[in-house]
Each structure stands twice: as structure tokens, then as C-alpha cells.
Homo-oligomer: A and B are copies of this chain.
Amino acid sequence: MLTQENLTSLSDIADLNQLKFELNHLPAVDVGDYIGELPAERRAIAFRLLNKGQAIDVFEYLPPEVQEELIGSLHDTHIRQIVEAMRPDDRAALFDELPAGVVKRLLQQLSSEERQATATILGYLDGTAGRVMTTEYVRLREGLTVGEALSKIRLSDRDKETIYYAYVTDDNRKLLAVVSLRQLLFTLPDALIGDIASDRVLRARTEMPQEEVAQLMKRYDLIALPVVDREDRLVGIITIDDVVDILEEEATEDIQKLAGVSGGDEAALSEPQVTIRKRLPWLLGNIVLYVGAASAIAPFQKTIALVPVLAVIMPILSNASGNVAIQALSVTVRGLGVGEVTPDDTLQILRKEILAGLATALGLGLSLGILSLIWSTPNERWVAIVASMVMSINVLVAATLGTLIPMGLKRLNLDPALISGPLLTTVLDAVGFFTFLSMISLALNVFHFKS
């Protein structure tokens, strides 16, 4: 199999016939990558070497800016053929990225059937089942025999996204049952579809969030899931390849949101200005918030001047409780993300976090106490006791909040990753610093501890 490197050198020695052969025989996704990385002036040339079927497949894998460029530089007839033959869901995704003017022109050139299919998908909200489904699927009537059904599948458009499931509907397109190609093959040809199809058919409503669709298909190991409207009429299907992409997208979102990247959708190789836009506002916002935490310290500057070992202890206090919070937050957000836990499990998971948190609080509290003893001067030894106590309490609060906050957000139907790890640690710092310094001041002023 030729690699990317082979291809590039082939295009350099300009052996066009060999290149053409390779471009038409390699997987479309590889050819898409190859054309996407060519210098702009050579992309249209390479694309014209593709035969029609391959051109349609490859086009879907090109980056949006290259798609737009090709739409501008290729002949209108060529473009119309490609866009007409695209799967409705891929076409809708393309139209999402293109300028409105270009979309309008392309829509006008589509056949009314394909235009309707695209409009249907674009009519649903982003991130819902309706938006990720395709309108190309195999539909059967109950009265058909297995043999007739197989003939119908054979005669149907080869481009149906999957033929491995066929859906049985009534005259009003109401979804009644599902039958797999496997069942059709394993049954005698004169059996009736109505007799072998299963009427316990899982389905998604058009407005179901895409991550719920993905979890449903994962749970039941489905290759395809039918999508129905409010009247239970079949409007499309979602296929497993889309689910794989959705699951990856959702996991990336969780990871990045937990780290404070706005939107959770920064590409690793994005432009620097995208990176700045996704990260800087949140960082600046967090600094403003952190002023709150630091303000908790500001009134105690005299105390710190009296007991400077506090400046050594406080970062450890902040760091450790922050880490505890981030651990609890990450495990809980991910547990919710993969559907392993639901808000109904709040008490159970909280019990676990508090029990584990107690042990952690003890361990970290003791550690900080010992360290404080080592660092403090003989007169400051009492600080170690306060440090231990505040550390233990802060760690327990951190574990509790790291669990309760995402659970609460999910219960309110909000994104559990809405509160990022650093945001939570900022709040914990404010509370921790204030408690710690207040107790130290109290000890200094009321109990007249020496410093």
C-alpha cells in the first residue's frame, strides 16, 4: 500500500498515470489528506484525476476551506454531480461550513429530493439526533416476503449508508419493527417480513442530544439506530461511524473543558489566534476570580510578616486541596459522560468520596503538619496544628465539591464539565486561605501565641 510519502514523490516525478491509478484506488480518507496537504494550485489538478465515485467520496474528507476552494475552481457541472451524490448528512455538514451565498447557489442546483433531505437535516438543532442522521435507509412493508425484501435491497441504491438493517413502517411511515440483513439471510425466502421482524425496536427522537444517541448505541451494540419524529414516523437513521466520531468529540470536550479551554473544541493544530481566543478569556476571567482568593490573603499581610512560614505552607495547602478537587471532578465528569453514573447515584458516589476523602484528609493533613514542624522556628511550632486541621477540612471540602458540583449541574440539565478544575481550585483557595489565615490571626490575637 502506498504511503503519503510515496504519493508526494509520485506527484513530483509527474507520473500522472501512475498517480491517477493510485488516487483512484487508495482509501478516500487518505486521498483527502493527500489533496488537502498539496499546494493550493495543485489541488484542483489532483482532484480532477479522480473518477466520479472516488471524487464524491474524497470530497467529504477534504477540510472545509479546501472544499470551498474547489467549489470555486471546478466546473459547475462537476460540483453539482458531487454535491448531489453526497450523503445528506455529510452535505448538511458541508453546508454548515460554507458561506451562505455558496450554499444558496448549491441548493438551487440540487434535485428536489436531495434538497428536501438536506433541508430536513438542517432544520434540526445542532448536536441533536436529527442533525447527525442520514435520510438514506432501507424501508420495508410488513407484507413483503424475505425473498422480496432481499430483492428490494439488491435493487436499492448502492449508496444507502447501511443495508445491514431494514426498517418496517406502515403507510404513514410510522416505525413498526426492525429486521437485520443477517436475519434475512438466515430465513427461508418465503417467510413474511412481518413475522420475523422484531417490534421491540430502539429508536431516537429527532431532538435527542447526540451524546445520548451515542450512549444508547454503545450500550446495545447497535450498528444503526432509527430516528423518529414526534408522531413516531421514521425520518432517518444514525450509523455507527457517526457514533464513534460523536464519542470522541464528547470526550475531547470533557478533557478540554476540565482544563478551561472554552467550548472544549480546540484542534491541536489550530491557528495561534484560535488558541488565544479559546484560552485567554478564561485565563483572564480566572485571574479576576483569583483576585477574590488573593484578596482573602491581602488583609492578613501583617500576620504573614509576623509568621513568614505561612508563605511556605499556603501554596502546599492550595496545591493539595486543588489536586483532590481535580481528581474527584475528573472521575465524576467522566462517569457522567460515559453514562456510568447518573444524578440518581449522587448519594452513593458522595458516600464513596467522603469515605475516601477522610483517609486522604488524614494523610495530607498529617503530611503538612510534619512539614510545617520542619520549616517553622521553635516559636512557630503551633502553626503545624492549625495547618494540619485546615488542610484536612479543605481536602474533605474539595472531594465533596468535586463530586457534588458536576452531579448538580447534570441534574439541572447543564454540562457537568461547565465548572473546570482550575475554577474550582480557585474557589477552594479563597476559602482555604481565608480559613487558615483567620485561624492563625485568632491564635495570635486571642490566645497570644508567640510568633
Residues of A with Cβ closer than 8 Å to B?
1, 25-27, 29, 150, 153-154, 158, 163-164, 181-182, 185-186, 200, 202, 218-221, 223, 240-241, 243-245, 247-248, 251-252, 254-256, 258-261, 266-273, 275-276, 279-280, 283-284, 286-287, 290-291, 293-294, 297-298, 301-302, 304-305, 308-316, 318-320, 322-324, 326-327, 329-336, 338, 340-341, 345, 348-349, 351-353, 355-356, 359-360, 363-364, 367-368, 371, 375, 421-422, 425-426, 429, 433
B371 touches A291 (CB 8 A): yes
Given contacts A220-B27, A255-B251, contact A269 B341 (CB under 8 A): yes
Bound together, the chains give a CA A348 to CA B267 distance in angstroms of: 13
Contact between chains at B355 and A268 (CB < 8 Å)? no
Cβ contact within 8 Å between A326 and B286: no
Contact B182–A429 (Cβ < 8 Å): no
Residue of B nearest to A362 (CB): B280
Residue contact A256 to B331, C-beta cutoff 8 Å:
yes
Could you say which residues of chain B place their CB within 8 Å of the CB of A422?
319, 322-323, 326
The smallest beta-carbon distance between A340 and chain B, in angstroms, is: 5
B359 touches A259 (CB 8 A): no
Contact A348 B315 (CB under 8 A): no
Number of copies: 2
| Besides the known contacts A284-B364, A287-B368, 19 further A-B residue pairs in the complex with CB atoms under 8 A apart | A218-B241, A223-B223, A240-B244, A261-B327, A268-B341, A269-B341, A269-B349, A270-B352, A279-B356, A280-B360, A283-B320, A286-B323, A287-B364, A294-B316, A302-B308, A315-B315, A315-B318, A319-B425, A319-B429
Q: Contact check: which of B25, B218, B256, B425 meets A334 at CB < 8 Å? A: B256
Docked CA distance A182–B244 (Å): 21
Give the complex CA separation of A320 and B286 in angstroms.
8
Check A356/B185 contact, CB under 8 A, given A266-B331, A269-B335.
no
The interface residues of chain B lying within 8 Å CB-to-CB of A309 are 298, 301
Which residues of B are found within 8 Å of A294, using beta-carbon distances? 312-313, 315-316, 371, 375
Q: A26: which B residues are within 8 A, CB to CB?
A: 200
